[in-house]
Amino acid sequence: MNTRERLIQKIAQMPQVHLGHFPTPLEECPRLSEALGGPRIFIKREDCSGLAFGGNKVRQLTFTIGDAVAQGADTIVHGAASQSNHCRQTAAACGKLGLNCYLRLARDHKSIVQGNLLLDHLAGADVQVVDVPFGPELDVVKYELAESLKEQGLKPHVIASPRSTALAAVAFTWCIAEIHQQQQQLGIDAEHLYTASAGGTQAGLVLGAKTLGMKLKPFGCAPIHWDDKIERMRTAANTAAELLALDTRVTDADIQNTDDYIGKAYGYLTSECIEALKFVANTEGIFLDPVYTAKTMACLIEHIQQGQIGSDDTVIFLHTGGTPALFAYHEELAS
C-alpha cells in the first residue's frame, strides 16, 4: 500500500458525516495562464464541494460535525463574522443532517441580510447578530448559549478553536491526497499551491504535502491579522497528525504565509482584489470571493509578475469558495 492509500485509510477511520461532493475537480485555466505570461495554472475547485454553494468548510464540517455527532450532539452552536462562510455552511449541514443550528454573529459593516447572512436564515438556523467582537468574546457568548440549551434538554456542541481547527486540518490532508492523485492522472507535479488561509486549511495542506513527500509547497494568504497564526497552524497540523497517527510533524519553517494582501482589515476589499476577481471571471468564467480568494489571487498575480513563479512552473490555486459574499459586496464590486 502506498503512502497516499495509507493516509486515506487513516482519514477514513475518523468520525465523519457525508456532506459534500468529493473529489472536487482540479481544472486547468489556460486563458488565465496565457494572460499572465506562462505558468500553468490549475484551480482546485473547493468552491464546487456541493453543499450550499460549496467552499472549504464543507470538507472541514465533514469532520467537525462528524466529531460532534459521534459525541451525541443534536445541536450545533457556531458564530463568527456576519458574512461567515463557515456559519452558512454549518447552517446548511445542520439542515441536511436534521440537527438544530444556533448562530451568533458579530455585528460589523456587512451585517446585512444578503449573501451568507441571507442563506443562514433560509437554511432555518436560529440567527442573532450580537454586539460582541468576533474572537474570544464571541466564543463566551457561544458557550453561554450552549449552557442554556443544555438546561432545555438539548445536547449542544460548540464549534470553536482549537479542536475545530485541528479537525479542519485533518480535512485538508484529505484534500492534498486528492490533489496528489489528480496530479498523477494529469501528469503534472506542481511546485506551488496558493490558498487563502490562516488556519486549518493551510495547516492540513502543509501536513499532507509533507507526509506524502510532495514537491509542492503550500503558500497561504491570510484574510485577517492574527499575531499567533503560525503557532495556531503548527498546533493544528500537529494535533491533526496525532489524530491521524502520522509520524510527520510540522515546524514553523514549513508554514509560508503572508499578511500583505489583507488591506485595511478583515472583510474590506482592496482595488487589487477587485481587479483579480474580475480578471479570473473574465478569463475563465470562475467567480472568486471578495474576502479570501480574490486577495489570494491578487497575491499570486503579483508573485508571477515579480518572477517569484517562473513561466515554466506549475501552480495550483485552491479556490476555497465564499462566493455568496459577492452579493453582500455588490456596491463595492459594481462601482
Taking CB under 6 A as the criterion, the residue among 219, 292, 317, 329 binding ligand PLP is: 292
Dist CA 217 CA 182 (whole Å): 16
Quote the least distance from Cβ 86 to ligand PLP, whole Å. 5
Residue 63: Cβ within 10 Å count? 27
Q: Which of residues 107-146 bind ligand PLP (CB under 6 A)?
A: none
Residue among 218, 224, 160, 174 at smallest CA distance from 198:
224
CB-wise, 149 or 160, nearer to ligand PLP?
Answer: 160
CB-wise, 73 or 167, nearer to ligand PLP?
Answer: 167
Using Cβ positions, the residue closest to ligand PLP within the complex turns out to be: 322
Quote the least distance from Cβ 70 to ligand PLP, whole Å. 21
| Using rule CB under 6 A, residue 175 touches ligand PLP | no
Taking CB under 6 A as the criterion, the residue among 16, 33, 49, 56 binding ligand PLP is: 56
Taking CB under 6 A as the criterion, the residue among 179, 198, 262, 280 binding ligand PLP is: 198
| Using rule CB under 6 A, residue 200 touches ligand PLP | yes
Taking CB under 6 A as the criterion, the residue among 106, 123, 146, 196 binding ligand PLP is: 196
Q: Which of residues 235-274 bind ligand PLP (CB under 6 A)?
A: none
Residue 152: Cβ within 10 Å count? 8
CB-wise, 166 or 198, nearer to ligand PLP?
Answer: 198
Task: Please say if 84 is a catalytic residue.
Answer: yes
Who contacts 172 (Cβ-Cβ below 8 Å, separation ≥6)?
A: 56, 59, 60, 200, 201, 202, 203, 204, 205, 207, 208
| Using rule CB under 6 A, residue 55 touches ligand PLP | yes
Q: Which of residues 62-91 bind ligand PLP (CB under 6 A)?
A: 85-86
Q: Determine the distance from the C-alpha atom of residue 268 to the mean position of all C-alpha atoms in its chain, rounded to a whole number.
A: 18
Quote the least distance from Cβ 81 to ligand PLP, whole Å. 8
Quote the least distance from Cβ 287 to ligand PLP, whole Å. 12
| Using rule CB under 6 A, residue 197 touches ligand PLP | yes
Q: Could you say which of 84, 111, 164, 311 is catalytic?
A: 84
CB-wise, 85 or 173, nearer to ligand PLP?
Answer: 85
Quote the least distance from Cβ 168 to ligand PLP, whole Å. 5
Taking CB under 6 A as the criterion, the residue among 19, 99, 168, 286 binding ligand PLP is: 168
Q: How many residues bind ligand PLP (CB under 6 A)?
A: 17
| Using rule CB under 6 A, residue 290 touches ligand PLP | no
Q: Which residues bind ligand PLP (CB under 6 A)?
A: 55-56, 85-86, 168, 196-202, 289, 292, 320-322
Residue numbers annotated as active site? 84
